[in-house]
Chains A and B, each alone.
Chain A
Amino acid sequence: MSRFLRTAASDSSSSSESESDDDDEDDDDEGSGSDEDVKRVVKSARDKRLDEMEATGKTMDNALKINDWIAISNEFDKLTRMVQRQQNMSEPVPPFYIRTLSSLEASLNAALAKEKEAKKKMNATNARALTAMKQKVKKTAKEYEKEIKLFQEDPEAFEREFAAAAAPEPVARPARKAPREGAEDGVTGDADDDFTTVGRGGRAVQYTAEGIFKNLQAIQEARGKKNTDRADQIRILESLLEVAVTPYQRIRVLLALVSSRFDYNSSVASYMPIELWSSAQREIDLLIATLTADPLYSVQEVTEDYDDLLERTPEEEKDGVVRIRGSIISFVDRLDDEFTRSLQHIDPHGTEYVDRLKDEKGLYCTICRAEALYEKKQLSEPLARVIMRRLEHIYSKPDAVLNALESAASASNVAPALALSSHPSPSSLIHALCVHLYQSGNTVLRTRAMLSHIYHHALHNDFHTARDMLLMSHLQETIHSADVATQILYNRSVVQLGLCAFRCGLIKEAQATLQDIFTTQRVKELLAQGVHQQRFQTLTPEQEKAEKQRQLPFHMHINTELLEAAFLVSSMLVEIPMLASIDSEEQKRKTISKPFRRLLDFADRQVFTGPPESTRDHIMQASKALQNGQWEQCRDLVQDIKIWSLMPEAAAVKEMLAKRIQEEGLRTYLFTFAPHYKTLSLSLLSRTFSLSPRAVNSIVSRMIWTEELPASLDQSAGVIVFHRVELTRPQQLAQTLAEKVAALVEQNEKALDFRLGGTTGWGDRADGAKGEKRGEQTQERRGRGERRGGATRGARGGRGARFSQGLGSQMARTR
């Protein structure tokens, strides 16, 4: 390719940058340079430019012969540009250009004259080019008026003058190029292990060990400027890395190289090319390996000032350690972020995504290496950060994946203190990592570690531990002020906790946990798994961009459909019996799960219902079946939902659901049909719902005990005897009023509790007063309203209160 461009340079509009790129790799050039001395090499670069100009001039001549003014115009523009550049480098205007200019003027006049004579010969575009050319030449000629006059007087003398001016030129070059020159000077010293490269603008640049620092400085100065060529810089640094001799040089070059790799892609919207990413990863590995191998060098974010251009060795330093400015942790962070970003952009359903995902192993190893490095150096702050990175890679993974990552890390001889090999199970590894973070001083990291830990426990069906940790951490009070990423993590943990409760068969807990997130109707957005369509306001592009950046890569997603199924099914199991137990219109407004209720009402209004298709359809029809006491149909409908297959231990979960449906079916049946019976045989119930007589007995007894069901058992006859009292309207209203007043007082108390911010003192008194209220009210005479409150909040509230005592975040140590 370079060969092609070189020969055809005259008719391509290649810029100086691409030229120098080509020359960099050009063997010919190197070959020709190697048997000449340095001066010649420099000169040849200038000559080449002249050659180019001449080639352009020749093309123009050719075009002139066939009267192609478009080509001439183009070529002339190019020529002018070249000359301009020549002048920018403070070289004199070559006589060739002046000559061309004057001859062009002459032929232009001739052509114009000819044009007037034979008008038909030229087409419109050509004619336009001709006139444009005339203007251009006139303008340029004015610029170089003096030179042209000199030239026309005596062409010979003019050319001689130019040659004389050019001879001392290399010495007189501006100071800006000093580093490059230094590099060139070095060649005379040891020409063996160097190679010649032609730098920008055709100048040959050689990289040597001595010149590294100057080169580095030049690159650092160019960094971030508008028209620096990043690819070129990376190449220069790569070659610098090859010649770097001492560890100090190598570290310095690596630091610069990695950062320029990360610079390569400046736009936020796209991700780093994968090859660049992998080489960056390799180089970070190399850097870490260098630092690990040689403890006398250390890379720190804050160091004393030192001269960038000097070589430093441990012996010369005061305490025998060379400290270099730089930050490995930020490299690791960036590497990880870029990985995530690439996953965000790749289509998750293609093979590319899977291929990319395979890189995680390498990344994980790098992170572990960095961890080992910081452990060795005993830097607690970056160590905590790097451990957090590590934790983020493994906390949401099932054990098998975690094992694979860990074995990859141990296979590549990375030895952080915390590794799977030293822990009996993945969970204990996570525990160890988290405990390390709990002890670190950083609150954000502590919070995130806590949430990851909770997520991990929930993932492993360890509901109680996860719940205790969540409540003890008091995170729900402060999470609103946390950063968005942490909030997302919090949402994820809570949702996972809800799913965990569902898998464990703790339906009420699952419902209560998932409730909050589902009432917002923005599940996807809250979990950062999709952007929510705003109905009433449009997002600004910045907001949208920020939103997009927050999205989790696909493999971390929690399946929202499964989540919804779990939520709706648990809502069904809680809500339907409650719905059945309500008999007056006023009470009907009480709902536990609004989203479920909405769907149910909607389904009720449907005139015609077809066979269920979506998950929601299934659940709605199942709910109706449950309402009608057809538990078998309900069970079949729920079990038919396809999405369960995504849940681990799906069979067990289905079985659990079937059992729940039986029980709740029985309860619903009793609530719904109790008014129509005077007595009901227990054995019949047991047969209808295929429950053991003991289970039926237990359920019925509980309902009687909690006064959900106004009935009692007749043991000898084996029946339930209902004592139903029909309430008159005023009685009902009186009851509702009483309940509302009680609720009001309770609200007031809560509000005061909140304002006083504690349960001490005042809480005790309130408790005593409440006892008063219950007065002679014996245990058996509890109101219905109270029951309802207790049912939903009981499980959480009881425990929640205990955690308000400030034992929070201690548990890691006390357990």
Chain B
Amino acid sequence: MAEYDLTKTIIPYLDRHFAFPLLAHLVEISLFPIEQVSAAQYELAKGTNMVDYAQNLYEQLNPDSEIPEEFAAKREKAVSTNEQLQQEAQAVLDVIENPDVAQALRQDKNQNLTYLKDNYGLTLEQITALYNFGQFQYTYGNYSGAADYLYHFRVLSTDTDLNTSAHWGKLASDILTGKWDVALEELNTLRESIDARAASTPLLPTSSHVESLSALHSRTWLIHWSLFVYFNHPAGRTLLLETFLAPAYLNTIQSASPWILRYLAVAAILSRKAQQAPPTSGRVRHAIREIVKIVQLEEYQYSDPITRFLKELYVEFDFEAAQRELQIAERVVADDFFLSEFREEFLDNARYLISEAYCRIHQRIDIADLSERLNLSRDDGEKWIVNLIRDTRMGADAKIDLEKNVIEINRPALPIYQSVIEKTRGLSIRTQALGAAMVRAGTQQPQVVEAAR
């Protein structure tokens, strides 16, 4: 199964600290030799300020040898830096935590700055101390503290670059502390800022090489980081589909990180059930169809049991092969850091997909055969199928003939008027949208021209 493990592919796109949970997961599933994984963990920890953790790992790795001196030195240095930075930051914090100040602060950052400067003598450098301290806290693993400081810094600072950096830092801290709601919010604002930056730079082929490249990079990072959020937040899967299927992100996935298709595919399969529940956007509803197309397109770049399952099912219609792939895919899902919790759900939904497709194509189905396709025992299969018929709208069309042990599906042809209605449905809305867009275009264009001047 190791060949399907994506940890190694993903880690380069993550922050150093994200790698710890990933590696810890690898230790749990024991896909790789434990010594190697913990060696990797140690190497990772060495680069951070989490000296104690690194020391622990070192002891684990070399139980016999002495603990090198450098740890103590490093620890001391970290502690002293910490104190120094804290002092610097404390000054700012004292001011900010003053309720008067909190009330006086407004939306306008520049105004805030002058206010703080005039009344409390706070300079920009001091505020930057907040950033530094936050970053330092992050490096030694105090994520919630880091999140606080970075938040304050962001409220005050006007420096765009540092602000972006603080943004990423805040997101990372939130993810690592497991505050998924906050993280999701953070993720969305970050995404907006990235998109806004990309949109503001014109798409001229000559000028924007660097910008579009950096947009590509930050989107790739965002996609990888967001996996943490999306697979832990309760509504995450739907949101994942929403985000990843947006053209800009789909492009990023296709050109820079095709392996994300696995998560996209799993999310699409998982969201199948959601379809019947509250109405979601069109993008999510047609996710599977869309993803199958992409999977097919990117097959030369990336394929794993999960994408192959979709392909066998919806492109080749080879139910046996799909079944085989599903078996492997189940194990892959179970081993994956992000997906392991969804194993059951995934299997369930995948079965639904198989039986749905199967029923649509066949008129008379042998229950035993279908059960086998679904990898279920005969009794389970029957129960499953009854549930299926009850759940889906096939109710009226499908009947089980217990004597012959078959399901009869009787699907009357779609009346012609209905298909005409369906074809013309929404045309007027689309036309209205056209009209609205034209009006908007008319008003926007003069502005663009002015801006160009």
Contact = CB atoms under 8 A, between A and B. Distances in A.
A474 B204 CA distance: 11
A771 B413 contact: no
Contact of B255 (A697, A742, A814): A814
B423 to A, nearest CB: 4
Given A705-B360, A742-B427, A773-B427, A725 B297 contact: no
Interface string B346-379: 0000000000010011111110010000000000
Contact of A748 (B301, B369, B431): B431
Contacts of B316: 698, 702
Interface stretch (A330-338, A665-673, A798-806): A798-806
B433 A765 contact: yes
Contacts of A780: 360
Main secondary structure of the interface of B (DSSP, over half): helix
Given A715-B369, A758-B203, A735 B424 contact: no
Contacts of B420: 734-735, 738
Given A769-B433, A807-B251, A811-B255, A742 B423 contact: yes
Contacts of B294: 798
B252 to A, nearest CB: 8
Given A712-B409, A717-B364, A745-B431, A772 B297 contact: no
Nearest to B211: A806
B212 A766 contact: no
Interface string A759-786: 1101111111111111101111101010
Given A768-B282, A795-B297, A807-B212, A705 B357 contact: yes
Contact of B416 (A474, A731, A748, A807): A731
B216 interface: yes
B247 A766 contact: no
Contacts of A468: 255
A752 B437 CA distance: 8
A295 interface: no
B426 A769 contact: yes
B297 A798 contact: yes
Interface string A99-112: 00000000000000
Judged by DSSP, the binding face of A is helix
Contacts of B117: none
Interface string B169-213: 000000000000000000000000000000100010110110011
Please indicate which of the listed interface residues B365, B419, B430 has the most CB atoms of chain A within 10 Å of its own CB. B430
Q: Quick one: which of A464, A478, A769 has the most chain B CB within 10 A?
A: A769
Contact of B282 (A474, A478, A755, A774): A774
B362 A771 contact: no
Interface in A683-725: 694, 697-698, 701-702, 704-705, 710, 712-717, 721, 723, 725
Interface residues of A, number: 77
B281 A768 contact: yes
A738 B441 contact: no
Contacts of B206: 443
B283 A767 contact: yes
A783 B317 contact: no
Interface string A221-233: 0000000000000
A704 B361 contact: yes
A808 B316 CA distance: 32
B318 interface: yes
Interface in B96-112: none
A749 B426 CA distance: 13
A808 B213 CA distance: 10
A806 B438 CA distance: 24
Interface stretch (B1-9, B146-154, B285-293): B285-293
Q: Which of A697, A715, A758 has the most CB of B within 10 A?
A: A715
A756 interface: yes
A762 B361 contact: no
Interface string B400-440: 00000010010101101101101111110111011011101
A707 to B, nearest CB: 9
B389 to A, nearest CB: 15
A774 B414 contact: no
Contacts of A805: 203, 247-248, 251
Contacts of A701: 317, 361
Contact of B247 (A749, A759, A779): A759
Contacts of A122: none
Contact of A464 (B285, B300, B409): B300
A781 B414 contact: yes
A716 B406 contact: yes
B322 to A, nearest CB: 11
A472 interface: yes
Which of A712, A734, A807 neighbours the largest number of chain B CB atoms within 10 Å of its CB? A807
Contacts of B213: 810, 813-814
Nearest to B312: A698
Contact of A767 (B282, B362, B413, B419): B282
A27 interface: no
B363 A721 contact: yes
A806 B427 contact: no
A712 B362 contact: yes
Contacts of A766: 430, 433, 437
Interface in B28-73: none
Contacts of B289: 779
Interface string A735-754: 10011011001001100100
Contacts of A802: 247, 250-251, 254-255
B162 to A, nearest CB: 26
A727 interface: yes
Given A704-B361, A772-B429, A735 B422 contact: no
A252 B43 CA distance: 64
A749 B434 contact: yes
B235 interface: no
Contacts of B366: 715-716
A794 interface: yes
Contact of B426 (A710, A731, A758, A773): A773
B248 A474 contact: no
B256 interface: yes
A199 to B, nearest CB: 56
A698 B317 contact: yes
A486 interface: no
30 contacts: A464-B301, A701-B317, A701-B361, A710-B413, A714-B364, A715-B365, A735-B419, A742-B423, A742-B424, A749-B434, A758-B203, A762-B437, A766-B437, A767-B282, A769-B433, A773-B425, A774-B285, A774-B425, A777-B422, A779-B288, A779-B289, A783-B419, A783-B422, A794-B293, A802-B250, A806-B203, A806-B212, A810-B212, A811-B255, A814-B256
Given A704-B360, A749-B434, A801-B247, 15 more contacts: A702-B315, A702-B316, A702-B317, A705-B360, A712-B409, A717-B364, A723-B411, A734-B417, A738-B420, A748-B434, A772-B282, A775-B426, A798-B293, A805-B203, A810-B213
